Amino acid sequence: MDKKHTQISRFLSFILRHNPESIGLKLDSNGWASVAELIELAEHKGNRLTKDLIDHIVENNNKQRFSLSSDGQKIRANQGHSILIDLNLQQEIPPEFLYHGSATRFLDAISMEGLKPVDRHHVHMSGNADSAREVGRRHGKPVVLKILALTMNADGYKFYQAQNRVWLTDAVPVIYIETLPDIVID
């Protein structure tokens, strides 16, 4: 994605995940917003959007952060919200292991408290270490944590998978986290 599209994707993430009120947008209880209203309100704040541009961003975002409704008239973020919405996620049985990307500077806190959603609704996990490593790079010197997901699930923890295949859970206690030396990035 080029620089312009990256900026628009970040704008959409901010609006649809964290602060729709900043442009006067209203989301429904499931996080959906009218595309037409989004375009109109973004224009008032100096962000020129078109339906074609939004369609392009949704289709080509490598992290699949957004979804359009089946009729293409509504848009929402797939996960990562700090505002209260219900994505209607169905509980799923996770694979044996999931991976969480973080930065090495957070390892002490994680080793004491486990993984918490911080300012979001869920802890996010990937199905593979490479994706988790990319997430960790956004936060500093990356580290990949191996999550004993199936064991957690057997112990009663619930897992969900967002539309973009990111795995979600409420928190990950320390006993389910492994930091393997061969997956810490130097």
Tokens of 12: 């959409």
Give tens-digit pLDDT for 11-51: 999 999 999 999 999 999 999 999 999 999 999 888 899 99
Domain map (residue ranges) of the chain: 3-77, 98-183
Centroid of chain to Cα 77: 8
Both tokens assigned to 70: 């089946």
CATH of region 98-183: 3.20.170.30
Do 100 and 138 meet the contact criterion of CB atoms below 8 Å apart? no
Report phi then psi at 109, rounded to 5: -65, -40
pLDDT tens digits, one per residue of 137-179:
988 999 999 999 999 999 999 999 988 889 999 999 999 999 7
Which of the four CATH numbers 3.40.50.300, 1.10.10.10, 3.10.450.50, 1.10.10.970 does domain 3-77 have? 1.10.10.970
**Tens digits of residue pLDDT in 73-120:** 999 998 888 888 888 889 999 999 999 999 999 999 999 999 998 887
The CA distance from 65 to 79, in Å, is 7
Q: How many residues does the chain have?
A: 186
